[in-house]
Amino acid sequence: MADETKGIYYVEGTLPETPLPGKEPPPWKATSVVGKPLPRVDAYERVSGAAVYPSDVRLPNMLHGAILRCPHPHARVRRVDTSAALKVPGVRVVVSGATPEADLVFKKDPVGDIRLFDSMCRYEGDAVAAVAAETPYQAWDAVNAIRVDYEVLPFVADERRALQPGAAPVHPKGNLSKKDGYERGDVARGFAAADVVLEATYRTECELHTPLEPHGCVASWDGGSLTLWESSQGVYAVQSRVAEVLKLPLARVRVIGHYMGGGFGSKLEPGKYTIIAAVMAKLSGRPVRLFLTREETYLSVGNRPPTNMTVKAGVTRDGTLTALEFTVLGTGGAYTAGGTSLVDWLARDLYTCPNVRTSGTDVFINAGPARAFRAPGHPQGAWALEQMMDALAEAIGMDPVQLRLRNIPSFSQAREGNPEYTSTAFRECLEQGATAFGWEQARRDARAQNMQGHLRRGVGVAGGLWFAGGGRPPATVIVKLFPDGSANLNMGASDLGTGTKTVMAMVVAEELGITPEAVQVENADTGTTQYAYPSGGSKTVPTEAPATRNAAVQVKQKLLAMAAEALNVDLAELDYRGREIVSRRDPATRIAVQELDALKRQGGVVGIGYRGPNPKNKTVNPFAAHFCEVEVNTRTGELKILRFLAAQDSGRVMNRLTYDSQVIGGIAMGIGLATTEMRVLDAGQTGKMVNRNWHDYKLPTALDVPAELTCLPIEPVDTEANNTGAKGLGEPATIPTAAAVANAVYHATGLRITDTPIHPLQLAQRLADRPKEG
């Protein structure tokens, strides 16, 4: 407990050993703070509304921006007439294809530079013009007053038609974006050696990120220096792109995003809106606030693109996989955006299989560009592969958990040199998950119940791994300890709402023997905090936490050096105990940290921590197995997800509360993919998105997500990945989810639902179509 008489913030307890300077700290053994279920350090600010998100920023004299967007999926802008817009009261700036800013290169793409206002609009919602005015209403009135002469062009809005003869070309060179593939072994021989070969096709619909806080920023100039408050996953990523586009030195672009209301991959980079706001602020000499409406975010700032997958798989009677062939057709939308990236990764690497061939065809369509979306490619790949595993198990009469256990690799087959995993507990995820879920009993009970009535129970499992994770250098973190035992932590990384700040405060607390509340976190500001990658890829904790630990360790090392001088003893014999520094040789030789003259003189001690390299010739990957029980009403097609268990191998649990939150969020999102979410484009008539709002785009709600959600962290801790042992959690928590639901639905009904979403209409139709049971 904190002792208010002797230094407010120190806690009693055993602290991690302090390595000598220059040495990476060894893995923690026992921990006193790390791993505990602690509420977020900024919980009060977040729930009370005190936290200032970028969309809350209001500056004196600020203008409000709005963007005119192309209403057609494919059109050439012949002429923009802004004369009426300029006459709307309150309008201060109008920019468009007719003003010089139009030619700013927003992004380089293999198909050609993407300009800020391109005369060729290749998706509904691309920016055509923008306005800044005294009020948001005036800005929108002015947007509506802009007259545009469009040459409306033929479009293609369905990736399955993009390569067909006669399909409208999205780009002059046609609609093929990229073809790629992977091969090992000999699949033909593998299929010949199989006892059972199955082939099936699967489809996942396009999902939209839908963060609570929409995309946008507030831009303000002070002479030649730009400050942006942007809702972002990475302030440094925004800074570098904005500096590049506007040809400014990095030091002249400050990006701040202390809080942000969700991104899921869609805020890893700035948008056209960022540049537009900066430009209009410059032209007007006034700060400009430009946040998108929900409708605009649905059209223009990214999605998890749709996939069409075919899986062919061979297995022997004893459950050995002999061959896998995986084909995917996908789209990144109108520009190069990795429409098929990583969709095949699980087919390549989740299970032991000597013969694997995958191929991807990525095409352009006239729709908003894709962006990374929580575990890009993986939930889609799992949807196909993990349903195929379920079907194979049934075909050879083997339990689905057992079939997976038969094929668990200890190294990465798809990576160059076949590196071992620093740790893999995929086996334990399946075994311990099955036990905790009551898998076998639940499967039997469901069977018994399904002998009668129209409410059918089913139980399903699916596995997954996350291709990335594990973190990487560089990361720089500064920890400053004040003489009273409170500390300041300085890092550039954004906290996406996942608890990053809290986890880092806990790491500092663990090392310094202080309470996490004593750690003030400064983050996500390129002007005042240290370089960090965007928060994403499930890399934030495994990247930033080791650097944070190193910074705190350096603080201890400096204090030990001060104590060694004060006590006139050898540094190596001293032990940092938080409040005190004590000689291990002679416990009477000790000094309170607050009594250190050098500390008093300096006013504080600063440690700088860097992220060290990952282990050579190894790969760091998180794993997961999800278990799901459902009930299907065979009269109505309604699907109820009754309970869910997620066994996650993400290495060390840094904070049990935020860990559970990540997993629960991952499950909820996976349930969305499985059952409710779908961007609907009117591919036949208009090419427009018809469900661009929260009413028609169905996110899962509390009614769709079961109350019984169990998070089962699988340890032991990874001692090789990095000095904290954490491997990354956010994305693996949503990879197997949708497939587990589909497998449970199959178990309940005998219907293999190959296309997302499994909504009541689809289920009712499928149930009605199948021959009447006796």
Q: How many angstroms separate the Cα of 439 from the Cα of each of 77, 482, 709? A: 59, 52, 15
Residue 236 interacting with ligand MOS (CB under 6 A): no
Stretch that binds ligand MOS, among 262-270, 317-325, 617-625, 755-763 (CB under 6 A): 262-270
Of 65, 306, 319, 376, the residue at the interface with ligand MOS (CB under 6 A) is: 376
Residue 536 interacting with ligand MOS (CB under 6 A): yes
Q: Residue 273 or 533: which CB sits closer to ligand MOS?
A: 533
Q: Residue 374 or 556: which CB sits closer to ligand MOS?
A: 374
Stretch that binds ligand MOS, among 258-266, 583-591, 708-716, 756-764 (CB under 6 A): 258-266
Beta strands in 59-172 (DSSP E): 63-69, 75-81, 91-96, 105-107, 114-115, 120-121, 127-133, 147-152
Q: Residue 265 or 546: which CB sits closer to ligand MOS?
A: 265
Q: Pattern of binders to ligand MOS over 328-367, x per CB under 6 A? A: ----------------------------------------
Question: Hey, which residues between 390 and 429 contact ligand MOS (CB under 6 A)?
Answer: none
Q: Which of 94, 86, 90 is nearest to 135 (CA)?
A: 90
- Strands 487-491 and 120-121 turn out to be unpaired
Q: Give the C-alpha separation, 289 to 56, whole Å.
A: 10
Q: How far is the CB of 498 from ligand MOS (least distance, A)?
A: 10
Residue 372 interacting with ligand MOS (CB under 6 A): yes
Residue-wise burial string across 197-211, b where 16 or more C-beta atoms lie within 10 A, e elsewhere: beeeebbbbbbbbbb
Q: Residue 262 or 460: which CB sits closer to ligand MOS?
A: 262
Residue 325: enclosing H or E segment and its boundaries?
A: strand 321-333
Residue 347: enclosing H or E segment and its boundaries?
A: helix 345-349
Helix runs in 180-229, H state only: 187-192
Q: How far is the CB of 267 from ligand MOS (least distance, A)?
A: 8
- Check residue 377 and give left, alpha or beta (phi > 0: left; psi -120 to 50: alpha): left
DSSP states of 692-742: -STTTS----TTTS-SEEEEEE--SPPSSSSSS-B---TTGGGSSHHHHHH
Q: How far is the CB of 263 from ligand MOS (least distance, A)?
A: 6
Q: Are 124 and 58 in contact (CB under 8 A)?
A: no
Residue 374 interacting with ligand MOS (CB under 6 A): yes
Q: How far is the CB of 56 from ligand MOS (least distance, A)?
A: 22
Name the catalytic one among 631, 638, 731, 773.
731
440 catalytic? Reply is: no
- Within 10 A of 766 (CB to CB), how many other CB atoms are there? 16
Q: How far is the CB of 262 from ligand MOS (least distance, A)?
A: 10
Tokens at residue 685, please? Answer: 């008539």
Residue 319 interacting with ligand MOS (CB under 6 A): no
Q: Residue 269 or 394: which CB sits closer to ligand MOS?
A: 269
Q: How far is the CB of 493 from ligand MOS (least distance, A)?
A: 12
Q: Residue 372 or 563: which CB sits closer to ligand MOS?
A: 372
Q: How far is the CB of 209 from ligand MOS (least distance, A)?
A: 9
Q: How many residues does the chain have?
A: 774
Residue 379 interacting with ligand MOS (CB under 6 A): no
Q: How far is the CB of 536 from ligand MOS (least distance, A)?
A: 3
Of 373, 533, 659, 746, the residue at the interface with ligand MOS (CB under 6 A) is: 373
Q: How far is the CB of 491 from ligand MOS (least distance, A)?
A: 17
Q: Give the C-alpha separation, 314 to 353, whole Å.
A: 10
Q: Residue 320 or 543: which CB sits closer to ligand MOS?
A: 543
36 φ, ψ to 5°? -75, 155
DSSP label at residue 101 = G
Stretch that binds ligand MOS, among 171-179, 263-271, 286-294, 752-760 (CB under 6 A): 263-271
- Check residue 490 and give left, alpha or beta (phi > 0: left; psi -120 to 50: alpha): beta
Stretch that binds ligand MOS, among 6-14, 264-272, 598-606, 692-700 (CB under 6 A): 264-272
Tokens at residue 564, please? Answer: 């060694």
Q: Are 254 and 226 in contact (CB under 8 A)?
A: yes
Q: Residue 158 or 269: which CB sits closer to ligand MOS?
A: 269
For residue 377, give the 3-state DSSP assignment: coil
Q: Residue 457 or 539: which CB sits closer to ligand MOS?
A: 539
Q: Residue 265 or 409: which CB sits closer to ligand MOS?
A: 265
Q: How far is the CB of 469 from ligand MOS (least distance, A)?
A: 10
Beta strands in 492-531 (DSSP E): 519-523
Q: Give the C-alpha separation, 29 to 25, whole Å.
A: 11
- Within 10 A of 193 (CB to CB), how many other CB atoms are there? 16
Stretch that binds ligand MOS, among 23-31, 373-381, 509-517, 741-749 (CB under 6 A): 373-381
- Strands 63-69 and 288-291 turn out to be parallel
Tokens at residue 84, please? Answer: 């009426």
Residue 671: enclosing H or E segment and its boundaries?
A: helix 656-671
Of 16, 73, 214, 265, the residue at the interface with ligand MOS (CB under 6 A) is: 265
Helix runs in 513-627, H state only: 540-567, 597-602
186 φ, ψ to 5°? -140, 100
Q: Residue 326 or 373: which CB sits closer to ligand MOS?
A: 373
Residue 537 interacting with ligand MOS (CB under 6 A): yes
Q: Residue 372 or 434: which CB sits closer to ligand MOS?
A: 372
Residues in binding contact with ligand MOS, number by CB under 6 A: 11
Question: Hey, which residues between 636 and 665 contact ligand MOS (CB under 6 A)?
Answer: none
- Within 10 A of 552 (CB to CB), how many other CB atoms are there? 29
Q: Which of 266, 313, 274, 224 is nearest to 65 (CA)?
A: 274
Q: How far is the CB of 662 from ligand MOS (least distance, A)?
A: 12
Q: How far is the CB of 416 from ligand MOS (least distance, A)?
A: 22
- Within 10 A of 14 (CB to CB), how many other CB atoms are there? 12
Residue 225: enclosing H or E segment and its boundaries?
A: strand 225-230
Residue 381 interacting with ligand MOS (CB under 6 A): no
Q: Give the C-alpha separation, 76 to 79, whole Å.
A: 9
Residue 377 interacting with ligand MOS (CB under 6 A): no
Looking at the annotation, which residues are catalytic?
A: 731
Which residues contact ligand MOS by CB under 6 A? 233, 263-265, 268, 372-374, 376, 536-537
